[in-house]
């Protein structure tokens, strides 16, 4: 195996040895917390070639391909990158993915492609996520990428929501020659790629350049239109759309309804906090344009990736003491290790077995402290996860000027309620009869992404959208 020449390494080895996220080149924590720019340092071409040369080309199907939800042919891409054939490598990713430059940045690679790399046994795995982003970025800067369009069929398809699921679906429909119109409730396209994932994980210009490919391919975008409120799915059929894809995600913040004080000034829901912290006002709905006020002492309540994103955003907004309160232990935390390790490196603290029970105002009426109770782990629940149980008389308080509730997400039930014969379950998730096609109970209506599965990943939503796009094409052709 070739060693990585030291001149290609952006930060020193000692720093990297302490890092829990493989061998990524990262900006130093004290520098990166001063801005919202990308934390990961892009590969130079030489560094990419050396990194790709570490792939040992496992026999087909390689474990990395199997672990990748979109089954990218990673060994072939590694082979091409190793030889400096970056544009051809980008072409490999385009075959199976509609968002390679984005999945290359935001996928939990340590749990997917990199996690299954056989080099893990004795060495660091190949950084296949980072190489995917590198190859596609390189292609965009040099050749550019044009979405291949099929022969026009004259058939119109409406997509509801402009997140990864609809993007995957749109790309397949464009390949098949159908006309695509996307209706979106927000002012700009992207879904959680814009209105969720922070800039330091996914710079907005990466998404913007991706979206421009879709605009050039002729996708019609209708912003500020909430389907189910302003018009219904039946209205869309009446307007002449022959099939409809629902890709509305699962974006309603879970609440702490029985906890007093959540309405105090200084208490935010995660989505509101992340959006206002990371998105420029011109892309925000009018009601979200008021600037955020972040205090010196911030607590974030929750244990998922959204909690890590809130901790890291608060640090970048000038908070001095940033603490995550989580009711179980670190072992039970649902969020990825990589994001948590980066949050810790940037200065976030974690307080486990801690459940907030009351948000307490100060003399000015704003949040001043959070009363908490200590928890212990009890018996496992139905899913085998140990239940947190309060420890009697263990109440204590944590001083805080800002609290952010990152407790998970629910779907909006509006489409189920306003669409006859569209089956939903679990408080509004869309029921699909066949996950490999996204077929719903309503003829001509397909669905995929977080609104079907509940909160998941960019890559899984995009894959579901691609499958539904191919199924819609079959449906339109069979209906002539």
Ligand X SMILES: Cc1cc2nc3c(=O)[nH]c(=O)nc-3n(C[C@H](O)[C@H](O)[C@H](O)COP(=O)(O)OP(=O)(O)OC[C@H]3O[C@@H](n4cnc5c(N)ncnc54)[C@H](O)[C@@H]3O)c2cc1C
Which residue ranges make up the site for ligand X (CB under 6 A)?
106-107, 160-166, 183-186, 191-192, 196-197, 201, 226-228, 247-249, 251, 274, 305-306, 309, 412, 414-415, 449-451, 455-459, 461
Q: Which two tokens stand for residue 80?
A: 């091409």
Give me the least distance between CB of 228 and ligand X, in Å please. 5
| 3-class SS letters over 130-148 | HHHHHHHHHHHHHCCCCCC
Shorter beta-carbon distance to ligand X: residue 332 or 456:
456
- Compute the distance between CA of residue 424 and CA of residue 440 in angstroms, rounded to an integer: 9
Sign, CA torsion 129/205/447/304: positive
ω into residue 61 within 30 of 0, thus cis?
Answer: yes
Q: Which two tokens stand for residue 85?
A: 């054939």
| Region of residue 193 (phi > 0: left; psi between -120 and 50: alpha; otherwise: beta) | alpha
Residue 379's φ and ψ, nearest 5 degrees, are -70, 155
Q: Which two tokens stand for residue 236?
A: 């869309």
Give me the least distance between CB of 156 and ligand X, in Å please. 17
Give me the least distance between CB of 99 and ligand X, in Å please. 10
Local structure of 403: helix, strand or coil: strand
Give me the least distance between CB of 411 and ligand X, in Å please. 9
Give me the least distance between CB of 131 and ligand X, in Å please. 17
Shorter beta-carbon distance to ligand X: residue 91 or 465:
465
Shorter beta-carbon distance to ligand X: residue 198 or 356:
198
Shorter beta-carbon distance to ligand X: residue 197 or 348:
197
Give me the least distance between CB of 268 and ligand X, in Å please. 13
∠ CA 280-283-287 to the nearest 5 degrees?
Answer: 95
Give me the least distance between CB of 248 and ligand X, in Å please. 3
H or E element: which one contains 345?
A: helix 337-346
Tell me the β-bridge partners of 371: 358, 397
- Compute the distance between CA of residue 262 and CA of residue 267 in angstroms, rounded to an integer: 6
Sign, CA torsion 245/251/252/254: positive
Shorter beta-carbon distance to ligand X: residue 328 or 338:
338
DSSP string, 93-139: HHHH-S-HHHHHHHS-GGGTHHHH-GGGGTSPPP-HHHHHHHHHHHH
Shorter beta-carbon distance to ligand X: residue 81 or 463:
463
DSSP string, 187-241: SSS-GGGTTTS-TTTS-HHHHHHHHHHHHHTT-EEE-S--BTTTB-HHHHHHTT-
Shorter beta-carbon distance to ligand X: residue 196 or 444:
196
Shorter beta-carbon distance to ligand X: residue 261 or 411:
411
Give me the least distance between CB of 80 and ligand X, in Å please. 25
- Compute the distance between CA of residue 333 and CA of residue 388 in angstroms, rounded to an integer: 12
- Compute the distance between CA of residue 4 and CA of residue 7 in angstroms, rounded to an integer: 9
Shorter beta-carbon distance to ligand X: residue 25 or 339:
339
Shorter beta-carbon distance to ligand X: residue 91 or 249:
249
Give me the least distance between CB of 302 and ligand X, in Å please. 11
C-alpha gyration radius of the chain: 23
| Region of residue 240 (phi > 0: left; psi between -120 and 50: alpha; otherwise: beta) | left
Shorter beta-carbon distance to ligand X: residue 256 or 451:
451
Give me the least distance between CB of 14 and ligand X, in Å please. 27
Give me the least distance between CB of 5 and ligand X, in Å please. 30
């Amino acid at each position: 195996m070739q060693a990585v020449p030291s001149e290609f390494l952006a930060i020193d080895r000692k720093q990297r040895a302490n890092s829990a996220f493989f061998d990524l080149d990262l900006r130093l924590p004290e520098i990166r917390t001063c801005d919202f720019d990308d934390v990961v340092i892009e590969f130079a071409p030489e560094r990419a070639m050396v990194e790709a040369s570490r792939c040992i080309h496992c026999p087909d199907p390689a474990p990395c391909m199997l672990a990748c939800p979109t089954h990218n042919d990673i060994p072939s891409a590694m082979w091409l990158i190793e030889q400096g054939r970056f544009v051809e490598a980008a072409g490999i990713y385009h075959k199976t993915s509609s968002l390679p430059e984005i999945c290359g940045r935001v996928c939990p690679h340590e749990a997917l492609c990199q996690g299954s790399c056989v080099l893990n046994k004795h060495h660091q795995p190949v950084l296949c996520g980072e190489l995917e982003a590198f190859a596609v970025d390189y292609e965009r800067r040099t050749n550019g990428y044009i979405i291949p369009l099929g022969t026009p069929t004259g058939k119109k398809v409406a997509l509801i929501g402009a997140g990864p699921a609809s993007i995957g679906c749109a790309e397949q429909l464009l390949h098949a020659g159908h006309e695509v119109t996307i209706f979106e409730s927000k002012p700009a396209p992207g879904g959680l790629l814009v209105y969720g994932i922070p800039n330091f994980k996914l710079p907005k210009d990466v998404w913007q350049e991706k979206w421009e490919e879709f605009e050039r391919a002729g996708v019609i975008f209708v912003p500020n239109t909430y389907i189910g409120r302003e018009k219904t799915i039946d209205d869309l059929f009446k307007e002449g759309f022959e099939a409809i894809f629902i890709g509305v995600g699962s974006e309603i913040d879970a609440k702490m309804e029985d906890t007093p004080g959540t309405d105090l000034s200084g208490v935010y829901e995660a989505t509101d906090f992340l959006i206002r912290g990371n998105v420029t006002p011109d892309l925000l709905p009018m009601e979200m344009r008021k600037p955020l006020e972040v205090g010196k002492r911030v607590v974030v309540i929750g244990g998922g990736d959204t909690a890590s994103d809130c901790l890291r955003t608060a640090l970048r907004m000038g908070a001095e003491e940033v603490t995550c309160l989580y009711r179980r232990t670190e072992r039970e935390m649902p969020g990825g290790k990589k994001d948590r390790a980066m949050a810790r490196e940037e200065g976030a603290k974690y307080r486990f077995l801690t459940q907030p029970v009351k948000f307490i105002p100060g003399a000015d009426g704003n949040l001043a402290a959070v009363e908490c109770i200590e928890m212990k782990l009890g018996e496992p629940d139905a899913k085998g996860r140990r239940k947190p149980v309060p420890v009697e008389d263990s109440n204590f308080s944590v001083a805080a000027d800002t609290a952010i509730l990152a407790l998970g997400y629910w779907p909006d039930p509006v489409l189920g309620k306003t669409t006859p014969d569209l089956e939903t379950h679990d408080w509004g998730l869309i029921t699909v009869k066949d996950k490999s096609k996204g077929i719903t109970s309503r003829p001509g209506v397909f669905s995929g992404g977080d609104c079907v599965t509940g909160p998941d990943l960019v890559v899984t939503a995009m894959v579901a959208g691609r499958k539904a796009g191919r199924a819609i094409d079959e449906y339109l052709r069979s209906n002539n």
